[in-house]
A = this chain, B = another copy of it.
Amino acid sequence: MPRFFIREDNIFSDYALIIGDDARHIGRSLRMKIGEEITLCCNNTDYICKIQSITDTSVRAEIMSVNRTQTEPDISLVLFQAVPKSDKLDFIVQKAVELGAVKVVPVITRRCVSRPDKKVFEKKRMRLKKISEEAAKQSGRGIIPEIGEIIDINEYYEQAKDFELNLFCYEGGGERLCDIASLKSAKNMSLLVGCEGGFDEEEAEAVINNGAIAVTLGKRILRCETAPVCAISIIMSITGNI
């Protein structure tokens, strides 16, 4: 069944409205008809609906049943990703969303070659939000994972305080994910992954001193876009979410 995310203020007591591009998509591309079923999703809740009317600007659908989305992991994992070159961040966002991350925050670390400021990055952030929404739709997520504003490592230290557990993929070595006992019980965690050049030794030490656990992803050298996909897969497996 086709699946769309809608905003809370478009959900009413017994019907919901799909507006904008999605409405056009339902009528024109999917060629859906009145009476057909559609799933609308908002805040981890699925609304199974039946289409009542279709125009190019809005689709009205009767709410038939309401259920909590079944696909969300029971952990909240935020990926802090050092900004890589070219369009690798697009790829990383897509895969992190499929695998269950709740948010991706781009971070500027010492070895980042690309170092856009917040303003310049805003345009790219809009694109990443679209990629997140597309991946969330395709993979059946219950939320659209957020894309955070680009931050520097000091802001990472600040934000890291909000998590029960902070993990950090370090090519200089660390614990294996499956040996971290607290990973099995933590419900709220962050994962920091470096860019192509990885982490400068001094910076890695500072991240560890700030309370993050250094993690190894084995003896092979993973590309910076492979590392988060690998780490999130393993974390989701260990916590029972894959």
Q: A100 — which chain B residues lie within 8 A by C-beta?
A: 218, 220
Instruction: Please name 30 pairs of A and B residues whose Cβ atoms are closer than 8 Å in the assembled complex, sorted by A.
Output: A70-B219, A71-B219, A95-B229, A98-B221, A98-B222, A98-B223, A99-B220, A99-B222, A99-B226, A100-B218, A138-B223, A139-B223, A140-B221, A141-B220, A176-B237, A176-B240, A176-B242, A177-B237, A216-B242, A217-B242, A218-B236, A218-B241, A218-B242, A226-B229, A229-B229, A229-B230, A229-B233, A230-B233, A233-B233, A234-B242
**Given contacts A233-B233, A234-B242, are A221 and B139 in contact (CB under 8 A)?**
yes
CA distance A206 to B230 in the complex (A): 30
Check: A178 CB closer than 8 A to any chain B CB: yes
Interface membership of chain A positions 20-57, coded 1 if the CB is closer than 8 angstroms to chain B and 0 otherwise: 00000000000000000000000000000000000000
Besides A98-B226, A139-B221, A229-B233, 20 more A-B contacts (Cβ < 8 Å) are: A70-B219, A71-B220, A98-B222, A98-B223, A99-B220, A99-B222, A100-B218, A100-B220, A138-B223, A139-B220, A139-B223, A141-B220, A176-B240, A177-B237, A178-B238, A218-B236, A218-B241, A218-B242, A229-B230, A234-B242
Whether A99 and B221, one on each chain, are in contact in the complex, defined by CB atoms closer than 8 angstroms, is no
A70, A141, A219, A241 pick with most chain B CB within 10 angstroms: A219
CA distance A229 to B230 in the complex (A): 7
Selected contact of A221 from candidates B138, B221, B236, CB within 8 Å:
B138
Chain B residues lying within 8 Å of A240, measured Cβ to Cβ, are: 176
- Among B177, B222, B234, which residue has its beta carbon within 8 angstroms of that of A139? B222
A238 CB contacts on chain B under 8 angstroms: 178, 237
Contacts of A177 in B (CB 8 A): 237, 242
Residue of B nearest to A227 (CB): B98
